Amino acid sequence: MTNSKSTHDHGKVHGHHILHNSASNKSTAFTREEREDMGLRGLLPFSISNQDTHQKRALENLRRKAFDIEKYIFLSGLQDRNEKLFYRMVIDNIEEIMPLIYTPTVGQACKEFAHIFRRSQGFYITPDDKGDIRKMLDNWHEDDVKVIVVTDGQRILGLGDLGANGMGIPIGKLALYTACAGIHPHQCLPVMLDVGTNNEEFLNDPLYMGYPHKRLEGQAYLDLVEEFVEAIQDKYPSSLLQFEDFLTPNAYKLLDIYRDKILCFNDDIQGTAAVALSGVIASSRVTGHDFKDLRIMFLGAGSAATGIGDLLLAAFVGQGLSEEEAAKRLWFVDQHGIIVESRDDLMSHNIPYAHDYPQLGFVEAIEAIKPHILIGATGAPGTFTQEVIEAMSKHNERPAIFALSNPTSRAECTAEQAYEWSDGKAIFTSGSPFEAVERNGKTHQPGQGNNAYVFPGIGLGAVACNAKTIDDGMFLAAADALAHQVSRENLDAGTLYPPLSDIRDVSLHIAVAVAEKAYESGVAQSERPTDLTAHIKAMMYEPNY
């Protein structure tokens, strides 16, 4: 945020060092006076350029790259060289660049992280650091950290255990915090809890840079996390901690431990839930169904799916249903069939959604229950088959199909398949982007239900009011605020989300809604400003020279 005190101020560096500091460097945009005052004469070509010229040059270089992974590497290098130019370019070209710095390209970047590594970003903690984590945090170069994204790399997107290579996720998430919600980049801290990996390919790779052991588990794992949380609470007491890409049992366990103690949330559980709920709300404006009457089926019963279910249940209760009535609207299917009471293999987070119902397979369940909305959160591509989409279309004039697994290669079905198999009736949403589909003279525009629509705004709102914790009411407020940013024009094109080009305004609306709810519920610790919208907008970092 713009009032941040940084160790990168111009007054603390000079000449050659200014050009090699990403925060201070603006290359040939330095004026004659600045070149004289800062010891830059002779270090730059004669021409004085501006940021627009720099962006044109950078975009030209980006677009000549043949492969997305090369574009990712180029953008990472630009971020290291010229921070303001990088973020200006991301903001101005968000639809083109977000898929390159986050899903789907970040999945490939994580798989190849050790092989494309150029320069260290972020903070690494291993079991060997037990007892020293607080002391180690003093090595981080910023004192005013507001947002921390942490992963242990065990369940990266739909790609599984990538160990320390998963650092690409916190780096990418925090780039979106800055680009989408204006959190100052120096107030962002990516953290890798490198507790080992069970990925034999990585353990046998001589270029792998992570802790070269099998994963730490059990109480020793929880103790290391506890020390980390205590250390950041001591060093950065007003910071927001976002848990990212933890395996489902650990994701729920850590959220249950810390959600009421510190300012934190799990994006896979709660962020995914908010963006999905928003899409469900928006879909009812297309189908005409009353929200509280919807029947929703999930393929997948892990952290993402049940997180969506939990927030939907809260939303149904908010519409006047009892918890028992609300739970009857939500049906989960895993690889063994419907989640029902007679099963003895359910995890604790599945039990509230286990119905007294016969055991059925996936398509049988669609035929019997006739859901209005189908949500996929499996990480298993191709699981929304033609038979599945046709069954949904048989029972719905406009079936809502949410294929949310990331990256694109893991989506339950493609946009083209959804439109083809539904004869153009489907309202299709995915986690990663799909191109528009032309069919029978009509253009279908898929929605992208990406968490980037919500987590930056939630974080901004929570930080802006200095919230103690984040409760369900704040996620419900975020989902509702996002749904109300969807125009009739968007809906008519078949998309349930606003254009990504509006993401900064969307994040501001979400931040205001989240902060308002925090003040209302008493978890905000700062005094409420007279004009909350103006206050939060003024906090948002603008990456201009």
Helix (H) or strand (E) run with residue 338 in it: strand 337-338
How many C-beta atoms lie closer than 10 Å to residue 455's C-beta? Answer: 29
- Dihedral sign, CA of 497, 501, 504, 509? negative
Query: What three-state secondary structure class fits 373?
Result: strand
β strands within 381-480, DSSP E: 400-403, 427-430, 437-439, 442-444, 447-448
**Using CA of residue 333, residue 336, residue 342, residue 343, what is the dihedral sign?**
negative
Backbone phi, then psi, for 236, in 5-degree steps? -130, 70
In what side-by-side order are the strands of the sheet with 427-430? Answer: 337-338, 330-334, 296-299, 373-376, 400-403, 427-430, 447-448
E strands, 152-205, are: 188-193
- For residue 107, the Cα-to-chain-centroid distance in whole angstroms is 13
Kindly list the distances between the CA atom of residue 289 and the CA atoms of 113, 227, 273, 293, 295, in Å, as whole numbers in the listed order: 45, 48, 20, 7, 10
H helix or E strand, kind and range, residue 511: helix 503-521
Distance CA 371, CA 375 (A): 10
User: How far apart (Å, rounded) are the C-alpha atoms in residues 437 and 453?
Assistant: 22
Q: Which amino acid is at 123?
A: F
In eight-state DSSP terms, residue 65 is -
* Residues identified as active-site: 102, 173
| CA proximity to 349, closest of 314, 308, 299 | 308
Q: Would you state the structure tokens that stand for residue 408, as one six-digit string?
A: 């694109």
Q: Check residue 467 and report its DSSP letter.
A: B
Q: Side chain identity at 98, as an amino acid letter? A: M
What the block records as the tokens of 453 is 């629509």
d(CA 18, CA 9): 9
Q: What angle do CA 113, 221, 139 make, to 5 degrees?
A: 60
**Contact assessment for residue 180 and residue 147, using Cβ atoms and an 8 Å cutoff:** no
The token pair at 237 is: 């007491």
Q: Is 459 helix (H, G, I), strand (E, B) or coil?
A: helix
- As a whole number of angstroms, the distance between CA 163 and CA 385 comes to 32
Tell me how far apart the alpha carbons of residues 145 and 151 are, in angstroms, rounded to a whole number. 17
Q: Among residues 55, 32, 37, which one has the least CA distance to residue 543?
A: 55
Indicate the residue type of 91.
Answer: I
Q: What is the CA radius of gyration of the chain?
A: 23
Residue 467 burial by Cβ neighbours in a 10 Å radius (0-12, 13-18, 19+): buried
